[in-house]
Amino acid sequence: MELPAPLRQAVDGLLEQTPQQALRQAARTLSDRYRAELRDDRLHMAGELAVKAYLAARMPATYAAVRASLDALGQARPDFSPETLLDIGAGPGTVVWAAAELWPGLARATLVEASAAARQTGESLAQRAGLGVEATWIDADATLDSPAGRPAELVTASYLLDEIAPAARPGLIERLWSLTLDTLLIVEPGTCHFSRRVARSRIHRLTKDADVPWEDEKFIFVAASRRPAASHASRVLAPPKTGSGKVALKLCRPDGRAEEKLLTRRDGPAFKAARRADWGDAFEP
Ligand SMILES: C[S@@+](CC[C@H](N)C(=O)[O-])C[C@H]1O[C@@H](n2cnc3c(N)ncnc32)[C@H](O)[C@@H]1O
């Protein structure tokens, strides 16, 4: 998975003007702050250099996670094609790019973001790379009581909740739901999770001092819709355990319960389907 080509070129264009050493140091600082889950009343992306470090080191991975989550949403709701998006904690605009690529009918987006540097970078990327969506950037703190932004068919918060004090999260989620006309999507770094392989560009590798041309982004998402999805297959919740003539699957069932299911050769086609199933797949024996 990679950023869309025009966005990638615009990102590279911005980063090429930045000294490599400074970018590397800023990426290290950003990564330390994320790892420490630091909440010191300062935004992780307070300045321009921190935003550039995010573009180089994190945006390709968060884009991949968001795109994969939107793809899963699109599979569950093939009829859903939002014209309006409200994205909270938008950063440099990761979600709107992913949503616009999946749904060409997306016409208007409201992007709420507290960091001026992130908003400016997001606006500049949208202009340089030709986003093709009417985007309005709002300077607001998403944790305050008054809802920032207009209701939209799709409301999203990607890699935001982890930066918010735990006590403020329930209220924030309530407000996001109240602004949701159809579907609310929340994406976060994973502990029990899905994974997507992300291609690392040259600048990405240099910024992280990394040799390997890819990395695996672990993420989790939840999508809540006001309209029921047409079908609910079970979903594979963990890497399947295979043994001689048997496969053990941990499944999330259509009714929401988790189930350990053991399939053996005697199960015939269901066993064959289980052998092909991978972590994160829908499973309909
Ligand atoms: C990890 S970044 C994620 C950016 C983007 N959503 C993505 O997936 O790449 C989190 C963003 O949320 C913003 N943010 C954090 N707390 C916020 C708040 N209380 N109100 C608005 N934005 C906030 C940060 O400035 C940052 O740009």
**Structure token digits, residue 88:** 């909270």
Above 80 in pLDDT, residue 232? Answer: no
Q: Would you say the CB of residue 142 lies under 6 angstroms from ligand 1?
A: yes
Q: List Cβ neighbours of 108 (8 Å cut-off, separation of 6 or more).
A: 83, 84, 85, 133, 134, 135, 136, 152
Beta strand ranges found along the chain (DSSP E): 84-88, 108-112, 134-138, 152-158, 180-199, 214-225, 234-236, 241-243, 246-252, 258-264, 282-283
Our measurement of the distance from residue 169's CA atom to the centroid of its chain's CA atoms, rounded to an integer in Å, reads: 18
Q: Is residue 96 within 6 Å of ligand 1 at its C-beta?
A: no
CA distances from 266 to 92, 180, 200, 285 (A): 52, 46, 44, 13
Torsions phi, psi for 92 (to 5 deg): -85, 10
pLDDT surpassing 90 at residue 121 = yes
Query: What's phi and psi for 11, nearest 5 deg?
Result: -65, -50
CB of 94 closer than 6 angstroms to any ligand 1 atom: yes
> Residues 181-193: what's their mean pLDDT?
92
Q: What is the pLDDT of residues 48-102, one digit of tens each?
A: 899 999 999 899 999 999 999 999 899 889 999 999 999 999 999 999 999 999 9
- Indicate the pTM of the whole model: 0.86
Q: What is the pLDDT of residues 22-57, one digit of tens each?
A: 888 888 888 878 877 777 777 777 788 999 999 998
- The per-residue pLDDT for range 127-161, each reduced to its tens digit, is 999 999 999 999 999 988 676 778 999 999 999 99
pLDDT at 244: 92
